[in-house]
Amino acid sequence: MTEQPVSWFVIERGWTVAAEDGTEVGSIHEVVGDENADIFDGLAVSTGTPARHLYVPSEQVGEITQGRVALLIGPADIAGLGTYDASSPSGRSSRRPPRSGSALPVGSARRARSAVPPRGQAASRAVHGKLPAVILRKVLWGVLYGGLAAASAAVAKRAATGIWRVATGEEPPLRR
């Protein structure tokens, strides 16, 4: 039985990082992203070389389970990743950019965070065909606000009708 996937929010320093073939390639040093906006930029991975941490962009991160992060790249590709630069907003080194097919999301609120204790299980990536939690959350809030707006419009119409009846003694005019 395989472990259930978990959110990037629960990744902690020291978790095992494995290449796509299952080979252990290092451990988590830091998670790079914006927790408030639910933007996962990538990971700083310790590979055993002192003072050298590789930057793995989120596009190269596969399944995240308790205590383990699987990458979508092989061991040979990991050596070609750029080094982690904590002073850079995205964590990427300006010397060697990672081999990634797409750019990170644009935003100034990105920051690095040391691994923190669990804050919820809402995954920010699609898991087994499910909608990403951030999209689902936005849809649910949109439906909630739409429902509240419709309900308040109905209440306002009923109140206006009552006021019209009391003030004029007749039914309000109908819309045509």
The answer to whether residue 63 sits within a structural domain is yes
Which residues form the domain of 137? 131-176
If you compute the radius of gyration of the chain from its CA atoms, what whole number of angstroms results?
25
**Interval 97-121: pLDDT, tens:** 434 433 333 333 344 444 443 444 3
Are 67 and 15 a contacting pair, CB within 8 Å? Answer: yes
Is residue 122 scored above 90 in pLDDT?
A: no
Please check whether residue 98 is in contact with residue 104, taking contact to mean a CB–CB distance below 8 angstroms: no
Residues 99 and 138 in one domain: no
The total number of residues shown for the chain amounts to 176
Query: Strands 53-57 and 61-65: what pairing?
Result: unpaired
More confident position, 48 or 12: 12
Q: Is residue 3 part of a domain?
A: no
* 77-95 pLDDT per residue, tens: 887 888 887 766 555 544 3
Going by pLDDT thresholds of 50, 70 and 90, the confidence category of residue 2 is low
Question: What are the Cα distances from residue 22, in Å, to 25, 75, 93?
Answer: 9, 9, 26
Which domain CATH number covers 82?
2.30.30.240
Q: Are 103 and 71 members of one domain?
A: yes
Query: Which candidate, 17, 25, 16, places its Cα nearest to that of 75?
Result: 25
Q: Is 126 part of any domain? A: no
Q: What is the sign of the dihedral through the CA atoms of 28, 30, 32 and 33?
A: positive
Q: What is the mean pLDDT of residues 148-175?
A: 91
Examine the domain organization and report whether 37 and 105 are in the same domain. Answer: yes
158-172 average pLDDT score: 91
Banded pLDDT at 59 (limits 50, 70, 90): very high
Strand, helix or coil for residue 37? coil
